[in-house]
Structure 1
Amino acid sequence: MSLVVIVAVLALVLPRAEGGPDPGELPALASSRGIELGVAVAVDPLRDDPAYRDLVADHYTSVTAENTMKWEHVQPERGRFDWSGPDTVVDFAVENGLDVRGHTLLWHNQQPAWLSEGSYDADGLRAIMREHMEALLGRYQGRVSSWDVINEPFVDDGPELRGNLWLDTLSEDYIAQALTMAHEVDPEAELYINEFNVEGPGPKADALYALASDLLERGVPLHGVGLQGHFVHGTVPDDLARNMARFSDLGLDVEISELDVRIPEPVTEAAVAEQGEEYRRVVEACLEVERCSGVTVWGVTDAHSWIPEWFPGHDAALPFDPSYRPKPALNGMAEALGRRRRPS
């Protein structure tokens, strides 16, 4: 074996230095394993902060708009669309050779007042859905490869469908109608249902599995499911890969779509180190599943994380700290990609 080959092998199996993977190393490893390694991005730092842009371009293969494609931002008034934020994300991705995941079309949160407070019959609401999809999917057709069409359709901790504008007006068939409509607008896009608290087996995960099975049996254009992966430190399930595999066995792609691992305060050095192992385990679980299409981290740095606001008393959930320095989580993902090969 030549010295060059020995050095290359050691680079894949030895622990990473504290400085983290070199720019371009993580994207190359992810691509060699046949998965996306994505990240959710915020518009303001993506537009204004060169260091933030460099972190994204140097360490990931795809981007998701964290908020700017949600209904309240993109269509604040009926028929008036604001493309400034989505264009920033998509243009950045195209310029840097990154894929784009669209997020999200139908959700019970972050709706503009004209939509959430309106009164609609079924035909009227379907017309609004189509107008929105034709505008949003149509604008980015060919540049956004997949969409979270349905986001969080079940109640937080149970198997029941969540009461919302769509369910209350269109019945539970709103999910099939939305997927079918999105496919009509962009036949090339991969269409997902995205949900949380379904990463390990349980009643809610079973309900998502039953929903996906029913949709496929009916010929509804569903291509994948996203298991969000908003974990508290110490709660990454041991059976994550096995739970993902049953969706893969249906013929669906499956991905960890919104990964973060929040740490209860005070955040300790030991907890941050253990978090690195948790990120490694999540990526390894994806690599164990034949149709796991990727892992997307929900935010670039702890400086721009949603966690402290939504989960007071928790912090430090992401692979870069508030000063943009890499944490063990980044090394953990690199280690997983370096060691684990996909099943043939």
Structure 2
Amino acid sequence: MSVSAKISRRAFATGLAVVAFGRKVSLAQGFAGLGGEASGFAAVTPGRSFVFPADHAPHPDYRIEWWYLTANLSDAEGRAYGAQWTLFRQAMQPGPQRDGWANQQIWMGHAAVTRADTHRYSETFARGGVGQAGAEADPFRAWIDSWQMRGLDGMSAMNIAPLQINATGADFSYTLRLDADKALVLEGDAGYSRKSERGQASYYYSQPYFTADGTVTIDGKSVSVSGQAWMDREWSSQPLAPDQTGWDWFSLHLGTGEKLMLFRLRQTDAKPSFAGNWIGPDGQSVALSPESIEMTPIAMTEVADRKLPTSWRIAVRDRGLAIETLPLYARSWMGTSFSYWEGPVSFTGTHRGIGYLEMTGY
């Protein structure tokens, strides 16, 4: 399979360029071209001051950006569900924003629901400049076609809550209300998320404290659900190095109230690199030492003509964490134009809880 067919939300930029404009992606540019040249686009550097609500809006000087939410849900009988909502923006060219159809922004939406016996997904595309898709800071709204993530009355800019999200596919839909009583947290080093030692990085913040209530509909049958949700906001111009081939990313809700974000970046001719943040019940986010993180596959699943590691052993020695993860549905394949694995997980060990796993580049 070509490298442009292995793209997830973090590898959207050049892959979408292939679909929209027929450009070829060189393997020498790294995973999906995200290690390629980004001349003319803004650079990510340490020490940025985040400003809310302004940073909830797009950053068109940067090449790639997303608004991304995952929710771990259950119904009244305790059956587990997952929901994903993602809006991507990519600038096809740098420079001042042009009006109408001349606008250089391309937008893509992904939505999915997962149950123990099924995974459903949908995808939609839009061109910028004509109102079909976009994002606004105040009042907050991110949308593509009829899919929306929008602030409700009294929304706190620091909490980005309350929100309502909705999406509809051919055989599923969902509507969720999201509330949070704690402020956003900055991932990486105060929001600067290093992806390589050669300077590749992104700006990255999260809202890991959402509670969720709403309805999920699959094949015309609706159920009321509630649970926990996690939102990521990230933007960059060159987030990967040329020799980085993909990643494995977790967002985890620990039963003790802590939150954990981890990722492993796989590289050619080198050991993987690790990064993560431990987020306390009080909202304090602390970057983890890469040397303290272990992520080891322990079970494989064959899906979409490839084998993927769908169960993992994870350790964070500095925090006394040692867990094993289990997918809700091992075949949670996003068979979109840019395909990847993404779905809800549970875990046991020194800590118990739920979360989400994304894997790309396999």
Smaller-chain TM-score bracket = under 0.3
**Larger RCO (alpha carbons 8 Å, 6+ apart):** 1
Q: Could you state the TM-score of these two structures normalised by the residue count of structure 1? A: 0.28
Q: Bigger radius of gyration, 1 or 2?
A: 1
Structure 1 or 2: more helix by fraction: 1
Structure 1 or 2: more strand by fraction: 2
